[in-house]
Chain A
Amino acid sequence: QSVLTQPPSVSAAPGQKVTISCSGSSSNIGNNYVSWYQHLPGTAPKLLIYDNNKRPSGIPDRFSGSKSVTSATLGITGLQTGDEADYYCGTWDSSQNAGVFGGGTKLTVL
């Protein structure tokens, strides 16, 4: 059971928008920065969002992040078939003194 809760799967059509939620608590999301990662099979996870809502260089602005109290959300607009992947949220948990991830959400672009 993951410390952070994500929906197991989401789906949408090409060109549409999708959001992926990540729910935590005051010991993790509530008091720490949230990151989001894209994981394609056979490759290393890729940082999409850091510091709740910032994009690393090279990540298109179709990807966005937000945080409210103890939850975070990843948004993806203009969906492409290449966006099909597993998406994970991650943060620090101050009570466990450990990094934590969500269980992952599989995005299907229909």
Chain B
Amino acid sequence: QVQLQQSGPGLVKPSQTLSLTCAISGDSVFSTSAAWNWIRQSPSRGLEWLGRTYYRSKWYNEYTVSVKSRITMNPHTSKNQFSLQLNSVTPEDTAMYYCARGYVDRGLDVWGQGTTVTVSS
């Protein structure tokens, strides 16, 4: 069965970069039907889709407008992983971050365990 295992620091200082990784088992980051997503959840904003990376003969990235200038997602093909980098973080970026596998018609069907990220000095 497909599993996603997240890793990365839970505390980031303001103005620094948040970096998280999601390791895939049971599927491939090269899947030509799935997309690999990052979502965050906070009490004030609920669920917020951040972006996705996917492979369709070449790599594509799509990001939500609110963080587009600060976000980068990359596949790490040799390790079957994908990552999230969010630059210039502020306390507003404090949230639970999730990675998830998604399909156009099947929704986000497999989720990572979540990483609580706090932005604080």
A interface with B by C-beta (< 8 Å): 2, 33, 35, 37, 39, 43-47, 49-51, 56, 86, 88, 90, 92, 96-104
Give CA–CA (A92, B64) in the complex, Å.
Answer: 11
Question: What residues on B are CB-neighbors of A99 within 8 Å?
Answer: 37, 39, 49, 52, 64, 102
Total A-B contacts with CB atoms under 8 angstroms apart = 70
Report which B residues bind A (CB closer than 8 A): 37, 39, 41, 46-49, 51-52, 62-65, 98, 102-109, 111-114
Q: How far is the CA of A51 from the CA of B41 in the complex (A)?
A: 23
The distance in angstroms between the C-alpha atoms of A100 and B50, with both chains bound, is 9
A98 to B104, CA, bound (A): 12
What residue of chain A has the Cβ atom nearest to residue B46's Cβ?
A104
Query: In the complex the two chains form, is A44's CB within 8 Å of B64's CB?
Result: no
Is there contact, CB below 8 Å, between B107 and A90? yes
Q: List 16 A-B contacts (CB under 8 A).
A: A35-B106, A35-B108, A43-B114, A44-B114, A45-B39, A45-B98, A45-B108, A51-B105, A51-B107, A90-B107, A98-B62, A98-B65, A101-B46, A101-B47, A101-B48, A104-B47
